[in-house]
Amino acid sequence: CRLPSPSKNDDEKGYELDLFCVPKHYEEDLDRVIIPHGLIMDRTERLARDIVRDMGGHHIVALCVLKGGYKFFADLLDYIKALNQNCDKSVPLTVDFIRLKSYCNDQSTNRVKVIGGDELSTLTGKNVLIVEDIVETGRTMETLLSLLSECNPKMVKVVSLLVKRTPRSSGYRPDYMGFEVPDWFLVGYALDYNEYFRDLSHICILNEKAKVKYKV
C-alpha cells in the first residue's frame, strides 16, 4: 500500500488536477491530486475485509477521531455493514466519537487537545477500533492510546487511512493503514486546512499560495 515514491527526496506527485473534477472554489488552491476518491473507496473496501477477518466474532466499538476521520469512518463502516449483510459471519458494531485537535495552519502543535466526545470510560472492556484520517508524527494517536488505556478496553486496534513518510515520525505505526503518503500537506476527503477543503472528494496537495490565503 505504498504509493509510488515523491520529492524532498520523495517524488510521488500524484495526478494533474485537470484529470479529475474538483470544486471551482478550490481550483486555484491545489497542486495535484494524490489519491483520487475512487481509489480511496477501493482500498477502504479491502481494509473493511481485513478488519472483519481479524476482529470478527466480537462486538466492535468503532471510535471516529473527528473531524478529519468522518468520511473514512462513514465509508469504512458502510463496507463493514455490507460484509455483515452478505457473509456467514457478522460482527455487531456500535459507534463512538472523539474530537482531537493538534494542528494550526499546516503545523502540528506539540499539544494534542481533546475537545469533545463521549466519556471514554464507556469503552471499558470493549473491543475498540480507532478510525483516524492521517498519522504524521504519531503524537495524536499515541496520546489517544494512552488516554484510552486508562479505561481498560479489552482490545484496541487503530486504522488510519493515511500514514505520512516523514522524518518527524515518532515511529508509531497503526495496525491497519490505507496508504503511505509523501511529506506534503494534504487536504480533501475530510482532511482540512483551517477547516477548508473537507468538501473536496479527492486527497490533494495544497499549494503554497493557498496556505497563505486560508491562514489564521
Q: Which does 136 bind (CB under 5 to 8 A by kind): Mg ion, ligand IMP, none?
A: ligand IMP
Taking the least distance from each CB to Mg ion, the nearer of 14 and 68 is 68
CB of 194 to ligand IMP, least distance (A): 10
Work out whether 68 is an interface residue with Mg ion (CB under 5 A): yes
Residue from the set 29, 75, 133, 192 that interacts with Mg ion by CB under 5 A: 133
Q: Give me the least distance between CB of 107 and Mg ion, in Å please.
A: 15
What minimum distance in Å lies between the beta carbon of 68 and Mg ion?
Answer: 4
Closer residue to ligand IMP, CB minimum distance, 127 or 137: 137
Contact call for residues 64 and 98 (beta carbons, < 8 A): yes
Examine residue 188 and tell whether it contacts Mg ion (CB under 5 A): no
Interface residue list for ligand IMP (CB under 6 A)? 68, 102-103, 108, 132-140, 185-187, 191
CB of 193 to Mg ion, least distance (A): 13
Supply the minimum distance, in Å, between the C-beta of residue 47 and ligand IMP.
17
- H or E element: which one contains 182? none
**Contact track, Mg ion, 138-177, x by CB under 5 A:** ----------------------------------------
Which of 135, 159 has the CB closer to ligand IMP? 135
Rg of the chain in Å (alpha carbons) = 17
CA-based nearest residue to 52, from 17, 82, 24: 82
Stretches 23-31, 46-54, 67-75, 112-120: which one binds Mg ion (CB under 5 A)?
A: 67-75
Beta strands in 89-194 (DSSP E): 93-104, 107-117, 127-135, 155-164, 176-181, 186-187
What size, in residues, is the chain? 216
Each as own residue / partner, the long-range contacts of residues 161-166 (CB below 8 Å, 24 or more positions apart, any chain) are 161/40, 161/43, 161/44, 161/69, 161/72, 161/132, 161/133, 161/134, 161/189, 162/133, 162/134, 162/135, 162/186, 162/191, 162/203, 163/134, 163/135, 164/134, 164/135, 164/136, 165/10, 166/136, 166/137
What does the block give as the cell for 177? 493503514
Report the interface residues with Mg ion, using CB under 5 A. Answer: 68, 133
